[in-house]
Amino acid sequence: MELKGTNISFKYSTAHDYLLKDINIELNNNKVTGLIGDSGSGKSTLCKILSNYVRKYEGEVTLDGNKLPKKGFCPVQLIYQHPEKVMNPKWKMERVLEESFGIDDELLSEFGIQKSWLTRFPQELSGGELQRFSVLRSLNPNTKFLIADEMTTMLDAITQVQILDSVLKIVKKRKMGFLLVSHDMDLVDTICDDKIYLKDINNI
Amino acid sequence: MGDLLDVENISISFTQYTKGLNQRDLRVINDLTLNIEEGEILAVLGSSGSGKSLLAHAIMGILPENAHLSGKIKFKGNELTEKDKEELRGSKMSFIPQSVNFLDPLMKISDQAIGNCKSDEERREKRIKQREIFEHYNLGPEVDEMYPHQLSGGMARRVLVSTALLSDPELVIADEPTPGLDEKTVEETLNHFRHMKEDNIGVLLITHDIHAALDVADRIGIFYSGYVIEIAQTKDFSGDGENLLHPYTKALYNALPANGFNLVKGHQPLHGEIRNGCPFYDRCEMKFDRCKNERPQLIDIGDKKVRCFKYEEGA
């Protein structure tokens, strides 16, 4: 499986200069790739383009040669840095998970999610606990590619290991693709097979 | 050298409504003790959402109304009342908030940095000083006229740091100064703290970023589930972590990608789920029977502090 971005360029409508220019990026499911870049360099924008959240860009994103679907479930899923910003504050965690897919107890315990957390609202859980939910709900059976945008930056080292360990197990098992965006070089060196510097592929 | 700030046994709880008119008390910080000397950087390290920002708010006296604070906070040996805190904050103690969201979006940067002035003369003096400090932090005259949303991440951080230094503080409290910044900007921010230390300012650095803490701090307090479980010397975070005392601190150190990326199961108890015994009981590998129902106290071991029965005499 191959997620491919061809000649991607992007600029904000109010800006003079391009943020991303003629980026070519190829990712596949045989290896874990790390993406590294300075703050403000457009890492997150590139992630949003690859996962179909930003659609006003030049160039093309394809998954196995096909364009990403305009509606319905997107096989490329994005996980953000701040889980508290991507959950409906009026939904209990149970409903947040169910919106994606029916999750069995085995997966819950694999991710270290306690049954008692399911009846809580997002603001009653800490960032590390919420991020487990956020990761788990993105692991829908139809997900082919996972993009983690600074997924563990806000978490302590122990929680970081726990979450990445569970994710990598599932990624390997289901043969999914995984792109890790991080500025922690130690982390990228530890878990990624390959790394890409955004400034090397960005032609601005 | 005397202590600049002493925090003794403070606890913070919130009154919350559960259903209808029923209320409950939610304890967020328990029995927290720490001290900062002049010209020392103490980092308090804890995961996000663990309530460590409240510590800063408690010291500055800006907790919300439904919070209850108990325990003592002393500045240079004098116990502070809420009124003292009001006088000290913005002069002897200053606060570097987490992000530009703490600035007024409709006010120009220089006006916010100067703050309220009683006379035109005071305003002129402060403006000159503000310009000097901004210049020192590499902020050109154009920044004075900008609004907060026009600043980049690194510039915003410099504005917040220089604003905090405008009143010649003796204590600076920084709340999460590093997240979301790239390596260069983080390094730059940390250098600001090193400069403060050279100027004999005491710094309380509240962070979840262990790299940043190890980089600049003299001592590191580890925050776990509302307790400070260990205050270690920064140099102890080296090798296999054999000089660290508490089992959680050791596990944390060994979970770093550079130190083995070791997996430890379990999670921190939620607020309100706090048990009678040691907060780390469920995950601890060397627990004793008494840890289950008896809570260890923070005890001094040489120049460090730890909250664990293993290090108590006769344990």
* Nearest residue, CB atoms, A40 vs list B46, B153, B270: B153
Distance, in Å, from the CA atom of A182 to the CA atom of A187, rounded to the nearest integer, reads 8
Strand partners, B203: B41, B172
Is residue A15 within 8 angstroms of chain B, CB to CB? no
Whether A116 is in a domain gets the answer: yes
pLDDT at A174 over 70: yes
| Domain carrying residue A106 | 30-55+71-201
For A35, other C-beta atoms within 10 Å of its C-beta total 25
Architecture in CATH of B3-92+167-246: 3-Layer(aba) Sandwich (3.40)
The phi and psi torsions of B290 (rounded to 5 degrees) equal -70, -20
Over range B212-229, report the average pLDDT. Answer: 88
The distance of B61 to chain A (nearest Cα, Å) reads 24
| CA gyration radius, chain A | 17
In a domain, A21, yes or no: no
Q: How confident is the model at residue A95 (pLDDT cuts 50, 70, 90)?
A: very high
User: Is residue A38 within 8 angstroms of chain B, CB to CB?
Assistant: yes
Main-chain phi, psi angles of B293, to 5 degrees: -115, -5
Q: Is residue A7 part of a domain?
A: no
Q: Is this complex's ipTM strictly greater than 0.90?
A: no
What is the full DSSP assignment across B77-98? TEEPPHHHHHHHBTTTEEEE-S
- Cα separation, B47 vs A131, in Å, equals 13
Directed axis angle between helix A127-138 and helix A157-173, to 10°? 10
Question: What distance in Å separates residue B224's CA from the closest CA in chain A?
Answer: 11
What letter represents residue A110's amino acid? E
Chain segment B227-275, per-residue pLDDT in tens: 888 899 998 888 888 888 888 888 888 888 888 788 887 777 766 566 6
- Pairing state of beta strands B219-224 and A58-63? unpaired
Judged against a pLDDT cut of 70, whether residue B315 lies above it is answered with: no
* Number of domains chain A is built from: 1
Mean pLDDT throughout B21-33?
Answer: 83
Q: What angle do CA B75, B77, B79 make, to 5 degrees?
A: 65
The pTM for the full model equals: 0.79
Q: Is B298 on the interface with A (CB under 8 A)?
A: no
The whole-number pLDDT of residue B241 equals 80
- Write the pLDDT tens digit of every residue in B43-61: 998 876 667 788 888 998 8
Q: Chain A interface, mutation test: which of B210, B261, B285, most A Cβ atoms within 10 Å?
A: B261
- Contact state of A156 with B266 under an 8 Å Cβ cutoff: no
Residue A47 located in a structural domain: yes
Q: Tens of pLDDT along A106-151?
A: 888 888 888 888 998 998 887 788 898 999 999 999 999 999 998 8
- Asked whether residue A70 carries a pLDDT value surpassing 70, the answer given is yes
3-class DSSP state of B164: helix
CATH number at residue A104: 3.40.50.300
Q: Does residue A187 sit within a domain? A: yes
Nearest to A158 among B152, B179, B251 (CB): B251
- Burial of residue B43 (number of CB atoms within 10 Å: 0-12, 13-18, 19+): buried
pLDDT for the residue B188: 82
Task: For residue A5, tell me if it sits in a domain.
Answer: no
Residue numbers of A between 124 and 183 with CB closer than 8 Å to B = 124-129, 150, 153-162, 165, 183
**Of the candidates A2, A76, A23, A50, the residue with the CA atom closest to the CA atom of residue A203:** A23
Q: To 10 degrees, the CA torsion angle through B59, B63, B69, B74? A: 10
User: Between β-strands B23-37 and B78-79, what pairing exists: parallel, antiparallel or unpaired?
Assistant: unpaired
Confidence at residue B19, expressed as pLDDT on a 0 to 100 scale: 80
Put simply, the answer to whether A112 touches B257 (Cβ < 8 Å) is no
DSSP string, A165-200: HHHHHHHHHTT-EEEEE-S-HHHHHHH-SEEEEHHH
Distance (Å) from the alpha carbon of B75 to chain A's nearest alpha carbon: 31
Say if the Cβ atoms of B48 and A158 lie within 8 Å: no
